[in-house]
């Protein structure tokens, strides 16, 4: 991936995504479709080609009804703008905290370190934005907004400024990670310092694009390692993907280790149930009863919770099947798995209500 054209194209499509905020989903989709093509490596991109891709996409949408996979892919492409990265990072730290020890036992990097590394990359690129990067493409009419091909090229100054943002020194990022995850103590054992360097290197390799051709691969591998002037650099064309889509990568990571996956399978139900119950208790004007036991023939049991309002009550049943393991590479499996879990929950809710809903 050391081709000069490849690096130039990465930066160019990144600047288009930054400048055309409302068109990021279609720009990301174009990128996902083209990243494995040899043309992306050897032929310079032009905005006209991306406009044509967007126009064809819009025409197809008008002529045919989208299927589930297309709808789900659309939702994935807009997801990075819909999630608060800091809140989601805290959620994921709690969600997977039970796997820290099993991963450590196998001498693998911790999920908390993975999230810290993603946060470091994201903050380095997106925080303290320069004034020119706030001058974005804005639609002047409803017609402009409705036209998918309304994608404008930013000024050269904008592109140059943004290019510097998304192109990072590999050495400096690793240094920042080490300094940010070790205590400020001059007496610290040098082996700890080396361990932190190796952890950063392992995480960077895990996040980096491998060259494999799979749908929406940049969601799983959002980082590109390149060489520029003999220096090893990191390029993150869509930094909004960092943290906001981290759960996909965590599930892929956990799935690599049989023993760790076994712990996750055993513990995830209780963890997800606790998260859901805490969320339900934040709803105003309600009374919430968790782990509600009921006794009636023929099927006594327990509901995860009951939520009472003045004129209604709701049964809560939490399911924790990890559909994220199928995203983004196995979208076709999600609908059947999701439907199965919803059906199971509905059956349990019906039993809680004594057979009537």
Q: For residue range 250-278, what is the model confidence (pLDDT) as tens digits?
A: 999 999 999 999 999 999 988 988 888 78
Q: How many CA atoms lie within 13 A of 147 on its CB side?
A: 13
| Residue linked to tokens 């996956």 | 261
Pairwise CA distance, residues 166 & 234, whole Å = 8
Pairwise CA distance, residues 288 & 272, whole Å = 17
Provide the whole-model pTM: 0.84
Residue 9, classified by CB atoms within 10 Å of its CB into exposed (0-12), middle (13-18) or buried (19+), is buried
Q: How many CA atoms lie within 13 A of 339 on its CB side?
A: 6
Q: Along the 357 residues of the chain, how does pLDDT read in single tens digits?
A: 456 889 999 999 999 999 999 999 999 989 988 887 777 888 899 999 999 999 988 887 777 777 777 777 777 788 888 899 999 999 999 999 999 999 999 999 999 999 999 999 999 999 877 888 888 888 888 888 888 899 999 999 999 999 999 999 999 999 999 999 988 777 788 889 999 999 999 999 999 987 766 667 778 899 999 988 888 999 999 999 999 999 989 999 999 999 999 999 999 988 988 888 787 777 776 687 777 776 655 666 677 778 888 788 888 777 776 666 655 666 666 667 777 777 777 777 777 666 444
Nearest C-alpha neighbor of 73 from the set 341, 330, 340: 330
């Amino acid at each position: 991936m050391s081709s000069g054209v490849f690096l130039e194209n990465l930066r160019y499509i990144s600047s288009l995504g930054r400048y055309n905020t409302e068109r990021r989903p279609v720009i990301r989709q174009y990128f996902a479709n083209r990243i494995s093509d040899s043309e992306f490596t050897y032929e310079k991109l032009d905005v006209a080609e991306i406009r044509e891709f967007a126009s064809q996409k819009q025409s197809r949408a008008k002529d045919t009804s989208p299927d589930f996979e297309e709808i789900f892919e659309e939702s994935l492409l807009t997801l990075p703008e819909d999630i608060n990265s800091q809140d989601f990072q805290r959620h994921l730290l709690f969600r997977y905290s039970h796997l820290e020890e099993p991963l450590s036992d196998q001498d693998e990097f911790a999920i908390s370190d993975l999230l810290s590394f993603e946060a470091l990359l994201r903050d380095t690129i997106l925080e303290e934005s320069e004034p020119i990067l706030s001058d974005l493409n804005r639609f002047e009419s409803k017609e402009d907004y409705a036209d998918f091909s309304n994608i404008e090229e930013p000024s050269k100054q904008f592109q140059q400024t943004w290019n510097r943002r998304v192109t990072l020194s590999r050495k400096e990022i690793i240094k920042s990670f080490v300094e940010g995850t070790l205590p400020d103590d001059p007496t610290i054992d040098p082996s700890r310092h080396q361990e932190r360097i190796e952890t950063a290197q392992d995480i960077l390799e895990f996040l980096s694009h491998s060259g494999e051709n799979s749908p929406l691969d940049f969601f799983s591998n959002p980082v590109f390692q390149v060489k520029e002037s003999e220096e090893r650099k990191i390029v993150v064309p869509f930094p909004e993907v960092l943290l906001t889509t981290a759960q996909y990568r965590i599930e892929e990571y956990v799935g690599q280790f049989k023993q760790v996956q076994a712990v996750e399978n055993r513990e995830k139900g209780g963890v997800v149930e606790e998260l859901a119950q805490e969320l339900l208790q934040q709803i105003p004007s309600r009374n919430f009863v968790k782990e509600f036991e009921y006794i009636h023939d023929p099927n006594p049991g327990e509901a995860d919770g009951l939520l009472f309002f003045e004129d209604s009550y709701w049964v809560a049943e939490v399911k924790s099947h990890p559909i994220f393991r199928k995203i983004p590479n196995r979208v076709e499996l999600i609908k059947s798995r999701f439907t199965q879990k919803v059906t199971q929950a509905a059956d349990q809710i019906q039993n809680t209500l004594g057979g009537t809903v």
